Structures are given as structure tokens and as C-alpha cells.
């Protein structure tokens, strides 16, 4: 059963560029905007697809497995046989679960600031969600440079956590905590690239080091003066690292 019928009016994904397909997955408080610099860069060489997660349309039972199934729906709808997969934050967690369940579909896996082991997020409750300054501070902690957390971004997150959507957010946050992937990471046999902000306080450097130790064919790259969302905060450093990884993996065919 599909999560949405074909008649649903909300867009299910963005699809730009031509070439080898790559799917990008954003995190809990993210959106397609998080990937805009990366989309502009990759669309010159790849077909870039970003599923638009139905975080808030699926009722109170939404979890990371629901979203993993949504990724599969998008891949099926677009008739993608194999593709590269990249995930940031909770999107990385979903990418891991998807790859473990569908290893035949994923050419390469790239993780950045991924959950799945542990993280220091906003938590699974929001006792101070009506405190704008608190939400602003929490949002700024996502970045090394606080000014990257624009007023527009802070306003968007503040509105989200103070709406009915907060229940779904808490459900998803608890879901990521419950479904730790540590014991399954040894099963990953594909090339995996870890690109991590050296100053990430949400999934700190030791999380990247643990992923690197646990995933057999992984490589780890650091970006200094960068935090949880490197593709948005430091695209000038992130993009070349990703390019090099994808080119090397393609050359091995």
C-alpha cells in the first residue's frame, strides 16, 4: 500500500539534472533548502532527487521506517534500478536503514552528521518550545557560524514546534533513539563516505569515528569550522569531497 495515492496534491520529490541518479535525504528539521547549494552543484553531472518527507501528513504513527518506505516508493515511482544515496542527520539514519534493507539498490552511501548511533538534538520533548530565544539558540547550535541560522530558518522551526506537528516530531525523535543501527553496520559492503563537521555538537566527532570503525568500507573526511549540516554551511569544502568519492567509485565499475 502506498503512503499517498497518485492524486495527492503535495509534491513527493524534486528531480533535477541528468546522469547517474543520487537521492538526498534531509533531517528532522530540514527541507529541500538544506540541499540547495548541493543540488545546484550536482545537477551538472547527476540526476538529483530529494524526497519531500511527509513528516506531518501521516498521523501520529510516523517513524523512521515509515519514511524509509517512502524513499522506496519514490525510487519505484521513478523506476530507479540503482542510485547513490546521501543522508544528513536523521536522513542519514533513514539512508542506513534503507541500504541495510535494500543493498542491491544502493551504489554508494554518503553520511554527514548522521543519527543512528547517538545524537544531541533538541530532545524528544519540548518543555521550552514557546521560548523563542531558546529555539533560536538551539537552531544556531546546528552551525559553526550562528549567522547561518537565519531569522527565516528560526521562525520556521519555532512555528513547527509550536504547532500540531510537534507530536509527530516527538514521535520521530523517539524513533531515532529506539532504532540504533550499531549491531547491523558490519553488514554494509558498499563504498561509504563519511563527511563530518569537526565542530558538530549534535552528532559530535566521536560519532563519526564510531561509524568509521563499524562500517567496513568507509572513509572519513573532516571539515574544520563546520558543524552539523556541512553541505549547507561549507559547500565549498563539502562538494569537492563528495565529487572525488563519487568519481573514484564510478571509475571502479
Q: Give pLDDT tens digits for 109-145.
A: 999 999 999 776 544 445 566 788 888 888 888 999 9
Return the pLDDT at 125: 47
192-197 and 46-51 as β-strands: parallel, antiparallel, unpaired? unpaired
**DSSP E strand boundaries for 160-207:** 192-197
Question: What would the pLDDT profile of 148-188 be if each residue is shown by its tens digit?
Answer: 888 988 888 888 777 766 666 766 767 677 788 999 999 99
Instruction: Identify which of 101, 106, 79, 97 has the alpha carbon closest to the alpha carbon of residue 22.
Output: 106
Q: How confident is the model at residue 237 (pLDDT cuts 50, 70, 90)?
A: very high
The C-alpha atoms of residue 157 and residue 48 are separated, in whole angstroms, by 26
- For the segment 31-62, what is each residue's pLDDT rounded down to a tens digit? 899 999 999 999 999 999 999 988 766 655 67
**Separation CA 182–CA 35 (nearest Å):** 27
Residue 166 confidence (pLDDT):
66
Backbone region of residue 239 per phi and psi (left: phi > 0; alpha: psi in -120 to 50; beta: other values):
alpha
pLDDT of residue 57: 67
- CA 178, CA 247: separation in Å to the nearest integer? 35
pLDDT score for 171? 67
Quick one: which of 78, 141, 126 has its CA closest to 105?
78
The pLDDT of residue 7? 47
Q: pTM of the predicted model, to two decimals?
A: 0.88
Q: What is the per-residue pLDDT across 58-92, written as a single tens digit (0 to 9) for each? A: 655 678 888 999 999 999 999 999 999 999 999 99
> What is d(CA 215, CA 212) in angstroms, rounded to the nearest whole number?
6
Domains of the chain: 13-119+180-251 (3.40.50.1820)
CB-count exposure of residue 253 (10 Å: 0-12, 13-18, 19+): exposed
Give the model's confidence band at 9: pLDDT under 50 very low, under 70 low, under 90 confident, else very high: low
CB-CB contact of 48 with 74 (8 Å): no
| Averaged pLDDT score across all residues of the chain | 88
- Residue from 58, 38, 62 nearest 50 by CA: 38
Nearest to 239 by CA among 220, 223, 224: 223
Q: Is the pLDDT of residue 218 over 80?
A: yes
Q: Which helix (H) or strand (E) holds 24?
A: strand 20-25
pLDDT surpassing 60 at residue 6 = no
- Residue 105, pLDDT above cutoff 60: yes
* pLDDT > 90? residue 220: yes
Cα–Cα distance list, 192 to 52, 85, 131, 139, 233 (Å): 24, 10, 39, 28, 22
pLDDT at 4 over 80: no
Q: At residue 14, does pLDDT exceed 90?
A: yes
Amino acid at each position: 500500500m502506498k503512503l499517498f495515492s497518485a492524486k495527492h496534491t503535495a509534491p513527493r520529490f524534486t528531480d533535477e539534472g541528468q546522469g547517474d541518479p543520487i537521492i538526498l535525504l534531509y533531517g528532522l528539521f530540514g527541507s529541500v533548502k538544506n540541499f540547495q547549494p548541493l543540488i545546484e552543484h550536482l545537477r551538472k553531472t547527476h540526476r538529483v532527487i530529494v524526497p519531500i518527507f511527509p513528516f506531518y501528513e501521516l498521523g501520529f504513527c510516523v517513524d523512521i521506517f515509515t519514511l524509509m518506505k517512502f524513499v522506496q516508493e519514490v525510487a519505484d515511482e521513478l523506476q530507479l534500478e540503482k542510485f547513490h544515496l546521501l543522508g544528513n542527520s536523521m536522513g542519514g539514519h533513514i539512508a542506513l536503514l534503507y541500504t541495510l534493507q535494500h543493498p542491491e539498490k544502493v551504489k554508494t552511501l554518503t553520511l554527514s552528521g548522521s543519527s543512528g548511533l547517538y545524537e544531541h538534538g533538541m530532545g524528544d520533548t519540548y518543555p521550552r518550545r514557546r521560548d523563542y530565544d531558546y529555539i533560536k539558540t538551539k537552531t544556531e547550535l546546528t552551525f559553526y557560524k550562528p549567522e547561518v541560522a537565519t531569522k527565516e530558518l528560526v521562525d520556521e522551526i519555532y512555528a513547527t514546534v509550536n504547532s500540531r506537528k510537534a507530536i509527530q516530531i516527538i514521535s520521530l525523535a523517539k524513533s531515532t533513539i529506539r532504532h540504533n543501527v550499531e549491531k547491523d553496520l558490519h553488514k554494509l559492503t558498499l563504498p561509504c563516505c563519511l563527511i563530518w563537521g569537526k565542530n558538530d555538537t549534535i552528532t559530535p566527532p566521536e560519532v563519526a569515528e564510531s561509524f568509521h570503525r563499524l562500517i567496513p568500507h568507509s572513509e572519513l573526511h573532516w571539515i574544520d569550522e563546520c558543524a552539523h549540516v556541512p553541505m549547507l554551511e561549507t559547500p565549498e569544502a563539502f562538494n569537492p569531497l563528495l565529487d572525488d568519492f563519487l568519481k573514484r567509485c564510478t571509475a571502479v565499475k
